[in-house]
Structure 1
Amino acid sequence: MNLSVVCAAFGAFLAFMAFAFGFWGLLISAIFIVVGAFVGRAASGKLDWRGALDALTGRRSSS
């Protein structure tokens, strides 16, 4: 799949959630999408936990 198609589908999903469930439904679905993305990256071994934690705490890497 092309990245444009994936992003368009993601936008359509979020628009549907906003229309169907309001702002809070949109917010909750976006949070679940982000959590699912992190779990998927961690399961495939492509997530650098140290880099993610450093980015969340505001630290910069030296490399």
Structure 2
Amino acid sequence: MGSATRTGIAIGAVLALTWILFGFWAFVFVGVAMAIGALIGRIVEGKLDPSALVGALRGKRSSS
């Protein structure tokens, strides 16, 4: 089993347990927090350009 598969299983388990123990809105909050954390991690690693992300969110097309 690869690292990505194990990570996916762990994320799924955390989200499922959150939903079961705390309800739907806690599940949504944890999911959003995980997504924000992943974005921040990719920016810190240099795998995501924040200015390109902002441009994409504003609907601007890249020049490539």
TM-score of the superposed pair, with normalisation by structure 2: 0.80
In the TM superposition, residue 8 of structure 1 has moved relative to its aligned partner by 1.2
Unaligned ranges ≥5, structure 1:
none
Cα deviation for residue 54 of structure 1 reads 1.5
Please state how far the C-alpha of 1:58 moved relative to its aligned partner.
1.8
TM superposition shift of 1:12: 1.0
Superposed displacement of residue 22, structure 1: 0.7
Q: SS state of the match for residue 16, structure 2? A: helix
In the TM superposition, residue 36 of structure 1 has moved relative to its aligned partner by: 1.2
Aligned length: 63
* Partner residue, 1:34: 35
Calculate the aligned-residue CA RMSD, in Å.
Answer: 1.4
Residues of 2 paired with 1:41 and 1:2: CA distance? 17
Runs of 4+ in 1 over 6 A off after TM superposition: none
Q: Displacement, 1:60? A: 1.7
- Aligned partners of 2:18 and 2:56: how far apart in 1? 29
Name the aligned partner's letter for residue 40 of structure 1.
G
Identity of aligned residues (%): 38
**Unmatched 5+ stretches in structure 2:** none
- Are 2:6 and 1:5 aligned? yes
The residue number in structure 2 matching 1:50 is: 51
